[in-house]
Amino acid sequence: MTEISKTIYLPKTNFSMRANLNKTEPKWMDFWNENKIFKKLKKSVRKNKKFVLHDGPPYANGHIHLGHALNKILKDIICRAYFQMGFDVDYIPGWDCHGLPIEWKIEENYRKEGLDKNEINQLNFRDDCRKFAESWIDIQCDEFKRLGIDCNWESKYTTMTHKSEGTIVSELLKFLEDGRLYLGYKPVMWSVVEKTALAEAEVEYQEKLSNSIFVKFPIKNATSSVLEKSSIIIWTTTPWTLPCNRAIAFSKEFDYLVIKFNKDVQNFNIKNNEKIIFEKNLAESFLKKNNLNDFEILHVIRDSQLEGNVCSHPLKDLGYTNEVPLVPGDHVLNDVGTGFVHIAPSHGIEDFQLGKKFNLNIPLLVESNGVYTKQTPFFAGQHIFKSDQIIIEKLKENRNLLLANGLRHSYPHSWRSKAPLIFRATSQWFISMEIKKLREVALSSIENVSWFPEASKNRILSMVSERPDWCVSRQRSWGVPITIFLNKQTGNPLIDKSVNKRIIAEIEKKGTDAWFSIPSKEFLGPNYNSKNYEKVHDILDVWFDSGSSHVFALKNRGIKDKADLYLEGSDQHRGWFQSSLLQSCAVYGESPYKSVLTHGFVLDEKGKKMSKSLGNIISPNDVIKKYGADILRLWVATSNYNEDLKISYESLERQAETYRKIRNCIRFLLGNLHSWDFSEVVIHEDLPPLEKLIRNEIFRIDKLMSQSFKNFDFYKVFHMISNFCNNELSSLFFDVKKDTLYCDSKNSTKRNSVRTVMFDVYTFLIKWLSPVLVFTAEESWQCWKNEIDLKAEESCHLKKFKDAPSKWENKKIVSDWEKIFDIKKAVSSKIEKLRDEKFLKTSLEAKVILCFKNDLIKDIVKNVDLCEILIVSKIEIISSEHKNLIGLDEYDDFLLKIEKFNGVKCERCWKIFDKKEINNELLCERCEIAINSKSEKI
Residue 23's contacts (CB-CB under 8 Å, 6 or more residues apart) are none
What pLDDT score was predicted for residue 221? 85
Q: Where in the chain is the domain with CATH 3.40.50.620?
A: 46-160+567-637
- Judged by phi (left if over 0) then psi (alpha if -120 to 50, else beta), residue 339 lies in left
Once rounded to an integer, what is the mean pLDDT over residues 645-663? 96
Residues 400-437 pLDDT 10s: 999 999 999 999 999 878 899 999 999 999 999 999 99
Its sign, for the CA torsion 338, 340, 342, 343, is positive
Q: Name the E strands within 192-252.
A: 196-198, 203-221, 230-236, 247-250
Residue 611: how many CB atoms within 10 A of its CB? 10
Predicted confidence (pLDDT) per residue in 677-697, tens digit: 888 999 999 999 999 999 999
Task: Note the pLDDT tens digit of each residue in 125-172.
Answer: 999 999 999 999 999 999 999 999 999 999 999 999 999 999 999 999
- Contacts of residue 829, defined as CB under 8 A and 6 or more positions apart, other chains included, come to none
Q: Which helix (H) or strand (E) holds 834?
A: helix 811-836
Least trusted range by pLDDT, from 358-372, 874-888, 903-917: 874-888
621: helix, strand or coil: helix
- CATH classification code of 46-160+567-637: 3.40.50.620
Check the CA dihedral 866-870-876-879 and report its sign.
negative
**Res 678: pLDDT:** 87
Q: According to CATH, what is the number of the domain 823-902?
A: 3.30.2320.20
Instruction: Specify the pairing of strand 181-191 against strand 422-431.
Output: antiparallel
Q: What is the mean pLDDT of residues 238-263?
A: 95
Q: What's the pLDDT at 889?
A: 85
In sequence order, which residues have a C-beta less than 8 Å from that of residue 558 and are 6 or more positions away?
none
d(CA 402, CA 276): 10
Span(s) in the chain for CATH 3.90.740.10: 204-422
pLDDT tens readout for residues 900-911: 999 999 999 999
The span from the CA of 582 to the CA of 592, in Å, is 9
Q: Can you give the pLDDT at residue 613?
A: 78
Band of the pLDDT at 886, cuts 50, 70, 90? low
How far is residue 40's CA from residue 798's CA, in Å, rounded to a whole number?
Answer: 8
Q: Residue 206 forms beta bridges with which residues?
A: 411
pLDDT at 934: 47
Tell whether the model's pLDDT for residue 612 goes beyond 90: no
Q: Which CATH class is domain 2-16+646-809?
A: mainly alpha
CA distance 374 to 58: 42
Count Cβ neighbours within 10 Å for each residue of 332-342 and write b for 16 or more, e otherwise: bebeebbbbbb
- Whether the CB-CB separation of 376 and 387 falls below 8 Å is answered with no
**Topology at the third CATH level for domain 204-422:** Isoleucyl-tRNA Synthetase; domain 2 (3.90.740)
pTM, entire model: 0.89
- pLDDT, position 936: 44
pLDDT at 933: 79
In angstroms, what CA-CA distances link 191 with 316, 352, 475?
Answer: 29, 19, 10
**pLDDT at residue 5, rounded to an integer:** 82
- Residue 199 is predicted with a pLDDT of 77
pLDDT digits (tens, 9 = 90+) for 731-773: 999 999 999 999 999 999 999 999 999 999 999 999 999 999 9
Where do you find CATH 1.10.730.20 in the chain? 2-16+646-809
Q: What percentage of the chain has pLDDT greater than the value 70?
A: 99
For 297, 492, 759, 790, 862, the CA distances from 695, given in Å and listed in that order, are 84, 73, 11, 25, 21
Q: How far apart are the first and last CA of the chain?
A: 16
For residues 825-843, average pLDDT = 94
Q: What are phi and psi of 698, to 5 degrees?
A: -60, -45
Mean of per-residue pLDDT scores for the chain: 94
Distance of CA 693 to the CA centre of its chain: 38
How many angstroms separate the Cα of 144 from the Cα of each of 39, 59, 644, 670, 796? Answer: 18, 13, 21, 31, 21
Give the mean pLDDT of 264-286: 92
Distance CA 523, CA 485 (A): 10
Largest Cα separation within the chain, whole Å, is 126
pLDDT band at 217 (very low <50, low <70, confident <90, very high): very high
Q: What is the structure's pLDDT at 23? A: 95
Residue 220 has a CB neighbour count (10 Å cut-off) of 14
pLDDT, tens digit, 9 for 90 and up, residues 814-823: 999 999 999 9
DSSP string, 4-30: HHTTS-----S--S---HHHHHHHHHH
Residue range 513-564, pLDDT digits in tens: 999 999 999 999 999 999 999 999 999 999 999 999 999 999 999 998 899 9
Of 348-357, 695-704, 754-763, 872-881, the least confident: 872-881
Dihedral of alpha carbons 831, 835, 839, 842, sign:
positive
- As a whole-number percent, the residues of the chain with pLDDT over 90 amount to 87
CB neighbours of 672 closer than 8 A, spacing ≥ 6? 9, 11, 741, 755, 758
For CATH 3.30.2320.20, list the domain ranges present in the chain.
823-902
Q: What is the mean pLDDT of residues 884-900?
A: 84
- 56: number of CA atoms within 13 Å, CB side? 29
Encode pLDDT of 709-725 as tens digits. 989 999 989 999 999 99
pLDDT tens, position by position, 78-90? 999 999 999 999 9
